[in-house]
């Protein structure tokens, strides 16, 4: 790169890189993938480093090579010289001025991370607060990137969705939306007076303007970078010199009258012989490798009063031209693909729902494959307008696989399919009525009697709470032929309400039926009014722990009940570490514990194991005076193991 900048211009170019006080330095960096890209809330693609504006779009991430020049920006306007931008430049010098975009009161950049590794950044800005500017435009900007770990095929680009709203009372006609991008691949050193020496070209298949290193004087950078129009009617693609023959920034780039022509007239530069639409035009007009900028626009659009339009672009990088084209194709695919699809068994069939894709679409097509078949077939209307569809043409016990694809605003299928989802439809069981319950004779547990199934179910789920109203806590899953269930995890002076639900063969849960009084049909509760007179037990088979689960915010102590007169309790955490041991020597069967470990610290949430061992003499002997004690190794100790949960 030996294109030299005149010395008087060097100082001016350095000034152009200094902070501008009238523009807030609000930006967020997309770093989840293989590109590091800053997005702002005022329509600019500048990054912020070292206390000022800086070049953007590091590729690969961590390489220190930035390919997008800081004055790249978003243009929106008409063909009459009215264009809202992030930057302006005057003929009296190259010091930049803030343009028409202003961040709204609630529009500062915010991150919306997704569990699958996607980063979504939102920002909002408008033009209506600029005095004398005739177009009232509100822009909601969303940028999307994907993590290398979860989506390696989507980590070399950033997708930018612009939703432009007309908040005024009059329709806006002839509106164009453009990205002005100054890609620097060869690299530049302003202080040394060296500018980037690149070439640009147009890829018709992907609607992409791209740049590459064309400097034959040094080792060429193989990286290719570009700007692609993902959705929106293509208006123009222009290649223009960012600097003139003297190396000076061409102030014509920052003139709104020129910007209007760049966006709206696809032949303007070629006709004036001052630029081109592709590399072929530049070669024909004998333009050498240079510091070029690309203008890619969509339009003309009509934005009705109070309505919106959306246009989607992508900033893409590749290790080579074929890699760049493949990455651009991937960007188009993911922009139209639904990020997720679900299929849920409901009464009468399967309910399929999907998340709307990034780009504006004209509708969707739903495809289904039946178990045993190889091909998918479209189901439902040719174009589905919403993002939900009920499939009622199904049979129980048959496996169905679904996927969805979007159609563009012209109704043309995009062939960008969602992931597949599989389901086996089954009937949803009716609420099982008829459960009854009562306290047992000794009063320390409740016996529930379950109704005989009247449908072919896979089992019952038993629920319990203290109110008789949702939410319910599941306490057990039992087989469908279970007639009785004993709830031992209860304690005195508490009301207990019970409910029952059935599950089908697919595990889908039917509606819950609350245990009611058959005469009043009101929820009925079970309660131990007075605790039975305690006495130590002769074995450990009926040891219970309550409350279980133990709720830290609600309970103070835990009870071990039905212990023998002499017992040792060992408590272990989930890793098998002994954290506490409790000794019980009492004729009463209960031991109260404050849930503190051996260090006096309260237990945290988790699942714990307890082991109870009788430390009395002999299990199987009722000794008489003449009978001798067995040897210690002949003693069969009483023992019991269980677990309890601690929740917040």
Among 207-221, 350-364, 531-545, 587-601, the range scoring the smallest mean pLDDT is: 531-545
Q: Would the pLDDT of 473 be above 80?
A: yes
Q: Would the pLDDT of 617 be above 60?
A: no
Helix (H) or strand (E) holding 15: helix 7-16
Same domain, 470 and 572: no
212/512 Cα distance (integer angstroms): 64
In this prediction, residues 465-475 reach a mean pLDDT of 89
Q: Which residues sit opposite 513 in a β-bridge?
A: 500
- For the ranges 80-89, 261-270, 546-555, the one whose mean pLDDT is highest: 261-270
Same domain, 285 and 389: no
Same domain, 220 and 354: no
Q: Answer yes or no: is 508 within a domain.
A: yes
| Whole-number pLDDT of residue 8 | 36
448/482 Cα distance (integer angstroms): 10
Bridge-based pairing state of the strands 388-391 and 198-203? unpaired
Q: Would the pLDDT of 20 be above 70?
A: no
Confidence tier at 130 by pLDDT (50, 70, 90):
confident
Number of domains in the chain: 4
How many alpha carbons lie under 13 Å from residue 367 in its C-beta half-sphere? 17
In this prediction, residues 64-85 reach a mean pLDDT of 95
Model pLDDT for residues 407-444, shown as the tens digit of each residue: 877 778 887 888 899 998 878 888 999 999 988 766 67
Q: Would the pLDDT of 497 be above 70?
A: yes
| Whole-number pLDDT of residue 23 | 42
Among 61-70, 78-87, 238-247, 516-525, the range scoring the smallest mean pLDDT is: 516-525
527/493 Cα distance (integer angstroms): 7
| Whole-number pLDDT of residue 396 | 81
Domain termination site, one of 402, 423, 444: 423
Give the three-state DSSP class for 543.
Answer: coil
In this prediction, residues 440-465 reach a mean pLDDT of 87
Same domain, 589 and 508: no
Q: Would the pLDDT of 648 be above 50?
A: yes
* Sole residue written with tokens 């709830």: 487
Q: Answer yes or no: is 336 within a domain.
A: no
Higher pLDDT, 300 or 22: 300
Percentage of the chain modeled with pLDDT above 90: 50
The mean predicted confidence, pLDDT, of the chain is 85
Same domain, 305 and 352: no
Model pLDDT for residues 234-264, shown as the tens digit of each residue: 999 999 998 877 777 777 788 899 999 999 9
| Whole-number pLDDT of residue 537 | 54
Domain termination site, one of 364, 391, 423: 423
- For the ranges 363-372, 482-491, 601-610, 627-636, the one whose mean pLDDT is highest: 363-372
Same domain, 486 and 618: no
Cα 200 off chain centre by: 36
Domain termination site, one of 423, 444, 472: 423
587-590's contacts with Cβ under 8 Å and 24+ in sequence apart are: 587/535, 587/536, 588/534, 588/535, 588/536, 589/534, 589/535, 589/536, 589/537, 589/561, 589/562, 589/563, 589/564, 590/534, 590/559, 590/560, 590/561, 590/563
In this prediction, residues 381-395 reach a mean pLDDT of 93
Model pLDDT for residues 148-200, shown as the tens digit of each residue: 998 999 999 999 999 999 999 999 999 999 999 999 999 865 555 677 889 99
Domain span at residue 507? 436-527
CATH number at residue 294: 2.70.98.40
| Whole-number pLDDT of residue 431 | 93
541/539 Cα distance (integer angstroms): 6
| Whole-number pLDDT of residue 522 | 84
Q: Which residues contact 642 (CB under 8 A, 6 or more apart)?
A: 543, 545, 609, 610, 612
Strands (E), 242-291: 275-276
CATH number at residue 557: 2.60.40.4070
Model pLDDT for residues 541-576, shown as the tens digit of each residue: 778 888 888 888 778 889 888 888 788 899 999 888
Same domain, 251 and 118: yes
Task: Please check whether residue 619 is in contact with residue 630, taking contact to mean a CB–CB distance below 8 angstroms.
Answer: no
| Whole-number pLDDT of residue 202 | 98
Q: Would the pLDDT of 21 be above 60?
A: no
């Amino acid at each position: 790169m030996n294109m030299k900048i005149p010395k008087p211009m060097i100082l001016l170019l350095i000034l152009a890189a200094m902070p501008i006080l009238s523009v807030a330095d609000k930006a967020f960096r997309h770093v989840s993938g293989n590109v590091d890209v800053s997005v702002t809330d005022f329509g600019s693609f500048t990054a912020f480093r070292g206390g000022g504006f800086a070049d953007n779009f590091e590729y690969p991430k961590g390489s220190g090579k930035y390919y997008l020049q800081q004055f790249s920006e978003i243009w929106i306007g008409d063909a009459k010289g009215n264009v809202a931008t992030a930057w302006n430049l005057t003929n009296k010098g190259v010091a930049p001025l803030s343009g028409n975009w202003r961040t709204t009161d609630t529009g500062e950049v915010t991150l919306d991370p997704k569990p699958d590794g996607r980063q979504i950044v939102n920002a909002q800005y408008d033009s209506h607060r600029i005095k004398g500017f005739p177009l009232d435009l509100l822009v909601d900007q969303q940028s999307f990137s994907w993590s290398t770990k979860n989506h390696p095929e989507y980590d070399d680009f950033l997708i930018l969705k612009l939703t432009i709203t007309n908040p005024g009372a009059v329709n806006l006609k002839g509106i164009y939306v453009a990205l002005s991008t100054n890609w620097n691949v060869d690299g530049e050193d302003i202080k040394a007076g060296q500018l980037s020496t690149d070439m640009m070209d147009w890829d018709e298949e992907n609607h992409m303007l791209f740049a590459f290193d064309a400097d034959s004087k040094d080792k060429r950078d193989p990286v290719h970078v570009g700007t692609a129009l993902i959705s929106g009617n293509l208006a123009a693609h222009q290649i223009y010199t960012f600097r003139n023959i003297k190396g000076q920034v061409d102030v014509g780039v920052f003139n709104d009258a020129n910007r209007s022509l760049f966006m709206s007239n696809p032949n303007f530069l070629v006709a004036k012989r001052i630029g081109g639409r592709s590399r072929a035009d530049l070669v024909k007009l004998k333009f050498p490798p240079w510091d070029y900028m690309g203008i890619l626009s969509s339009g003309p659009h009509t934005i009705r009063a109070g309505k919106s339009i959306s246009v989607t672009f992508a900033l893409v990088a590749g290790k080579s031209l074929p890699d760049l084209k493949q990455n651009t194709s991937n960007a188009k695919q993911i922009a139209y693909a639904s990020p997720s699809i679900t299929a849920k068994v409901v009464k009468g069939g399967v309910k399929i729902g999907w998340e709307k894709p990034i780009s504006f679409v004209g509708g969707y097509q739903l495809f289904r494959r039946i178990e045993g078949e190889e091909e998918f077939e479209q189901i439902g209307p040719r174009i589905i307008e919403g993002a939900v569809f009920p499939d009622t043409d199904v049979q129980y016990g048959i496996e169905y696989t679904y996927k969805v694809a979007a159609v563009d605003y012209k109704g043309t299928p995009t062939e960008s399919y969602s992931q597949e989802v599989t389901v086996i439809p089954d009937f949803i069981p009716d609420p099982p009525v008829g459960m009854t319950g009562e306290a047992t004779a000794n009063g320390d547990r409740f016996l529930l009697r379950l109704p005989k199934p009247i449908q072919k179910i896979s089992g019952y789920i038993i629920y319990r709470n203290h109110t008789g109203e949702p939410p319910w806590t599941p306490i057990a899953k039992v087989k469908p032929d279970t007639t009785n269930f004993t709830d031992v995890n209860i304690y005195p002076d508490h009301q207990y309400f019970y409910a029952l639900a059935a599950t089908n063969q697919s595990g889908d849960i039917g509606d819950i039926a609350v245990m009611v009084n058959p005469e009043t049909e009101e929820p009925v509760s079970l309660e131990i009014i007075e605790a039975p007179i305690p006495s130590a037990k002769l074995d450990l088979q009926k040891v219970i722990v309550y409350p279980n689960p133990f709720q830290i915010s609600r309970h103070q102590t835990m009870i071990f009940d039905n212990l023998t007169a002499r017992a040792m309790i060992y408590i272990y955490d989930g890793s098998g570490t002994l954290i506490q041991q409790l000794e019980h020597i009492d004729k009463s069967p209960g031991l109260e514990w404050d849930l503190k470990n051996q260090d006096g610290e309260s237990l945290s949430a988790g699942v714990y194991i307890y082991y109870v061992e009788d430390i009395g003499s002999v299990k199987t002997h009722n000794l008489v005076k003449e009978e001798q004690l067995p040897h210690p190794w002949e003693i069969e100790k009483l023992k019991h193991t269980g677990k309890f949960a601690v929740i917040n």
